[in-house]
Structure 1
Amino acid sequence: MSDEYNSRQRSMYSEADKKQQKEELAHQYDLRRARLEKKQTELQSQLSDKREDLRQAREQHDQDPQAVSQRELNRRESEIQRLEIKANKKQQKLTELDRRQQLGNECIDSASVTEGPTGDVTINAKVGPSQPRLHYEHENRSGLEARKDMDRGHSRSARTGFESDCGITNTPKTVNRSDQNHGIEKFVSEVYDQKRDGNDIWLKTVTTTHEGTRDLQQIQYEISTRPEHGQGQEKTLYRATINVDKNGKSWVSDEWQSPDAENHLKKMPHREDSTTNRSEKSARAEKSSCQQTPAGQEKSQKSLAGGFGPSESSPRKSYDFGKNVKEQRSGTSKTLSSSESEKRSATHKNKQQIS
């Protein structure tokens, strides 16, 4: 992008937003800690009771070996050992929660989110371990209503260590679930797991929507590595672009991987080609559909072509993400129309009658 274009980028993620997101993340971790600590308390109570029982059993055994056998003592000792192992694992999980929360906060601090003059949203942040979901895609936060044919898809999800409430779009289910969650985002996580000590992994996404809508048109991914303390060059490891036309057909283009990526990672993960898998599934689904429907009424199958990289942005305003996100962060939620409310109320009553 040109310097002029970059100078017209509008920030969508302030220091106040980062502070708020850290608080939301802390709340999710507190809930997880509370569950683990409750289980840990129960285990410690069981251990205390079992140890006391064992102490009394040993005293009985010393007085009369026939009253409590050595075999019974061994069984009780083994039971205590199993509980101790479980308690140690719970403690390790509690320690791991602290580490993950710290890394999640670092990803939040590193993040920049901007909106370009054509409505594209650029998110750039460090990659970290998977974080608790903050559910920014929900209607009261994203402003997107549920649609039967679409998911509310993230540009940057919690799986990559940082969940952004910007750039959430109406996304075809196959794109959100196969190409993103179980495709490129899974690959990003695997790259992070292979990072060398002293280096960070970064992920940059650029998201555009079809004009006048919040339907995904394109999302570009770029994975790179940087030294932790900023000394040294950034190295791009991988690029790919997911495209979606107005009819919901999707394909991956401009996929590129650095030929010397393994020089910057412990090992370069294998990027599974989703084209083959999707094509095979489509063929099976089409065959099944043809067998179950009359001739001439076969359902069409969406296809995916292989591949990532920068592409030209169309000179238009796609959607004012900034205005929407600002309203949702401030707590303004869209109210349902009276007809929608009546319809949902009737549905709820029907469910109660059935139950």
Structure 2
Amino acid sequence: MPDREADTLADWLSDHPEVTHVTRDRYSRFQEVISAHSAEIIQIHDRFHLIQNLWALHNQIIQKILPARIDLGTPLPKPDPPPGTQTKADIRQTENARKKWEQAQVLQRYYTKGYSITRLSKQFNLNPRTVKRYLEMTGPPDTSRKKRPKALDAFHKQVIEWEAAGHSIHIIYKKLQDIGYEGAYGSVKVFVAQLRKKKRAGAPWENAYHNRRDIRRMLWQNNLSDERERDIINRVLKQYPTIQPVYAFIASFRDTIARRDQTGFVELILYEQIREDPLTGHFIRRLLSDLKPTLNAITYTESNGFVEGNVNRLKTVKRMMYGRAGFELLRQRMLYRPA
């Protein structure tokens, strides 16, 4: 439909009397128009939007309660992720590396048969520099992400010693320049500020900060089978007890939706209503004002997933083409389906 206006939706429903089920988001105007048109139409809250709204609540609470950098008093190890826990981006990166290595092996076979780099470039439609790089490969590309070194990393020991001797940040910066430091003054200022903050708290410098974004992901995914993440979650909940009931509510909400447990879902919502937590109050009131479609989302299998996937694809392609192409090419790319 061209817009989200009530009259547009009402006219569309009048032209389609065969409609018996509607999946929708929680936009109140949709609810009013569909209910006024026919009480027989079964309205279903789309699970995509339901979980999206829950994620928005989770993100809002995390940003409100947790600082941007969290010191739990323990180092933050970064071991290799266990099998089966890679993100979609990691899987895609690994697959691309495998394809590059396969193509490199093909190029290397042709090169040993006497094909020149120029001929391979034309035959495989690759830049000569790319062909040369592929010919030099001895295995799949390394897909591991390495931390980018900072100019101050090599001078941490000196900064800690000079700060302990009582030097100001300005003097420390000048002394660093004398021994070859070429980084910014701001980096020195931030490092010394962190060092002094830890000294006041009585914490050792070796303790690493936990990023709020990482904590948000751990609390959302709730991967308690991972011992390291379980330990971090327990420390966060102990250090910030305000999050405990919200964490339990969000985990239970997702679990009842996944198990299609309608009875457990109703009990959870009513319990949260009685608890009157100001952090979740608005979310619960909105659910209760339109509860039946939410319960239908647990009972029925209909979903807006296909449509939402195409909307996301359209937005991604549109951003990629912004400023470089017109509407006609955008239309062709959206209609194109690879064989």
Confirm or deny a common fold (TM above 0.5).
no
Greater RCO, 1 or 2 (C-alpha within 8 Å, sep 6+): 2
Q: What TM-score, normalized by structure 2, do the two folds share? A: 0.23
User: Which has the larger share of strand?
Assistant: 1
Q: Which has the larger radius of gyration?
A: 2
User: Which has the larger share of helix?
Assistant: 2
Q: What TM-score, normalized by structure 1, do the two folds share? A: 0.22
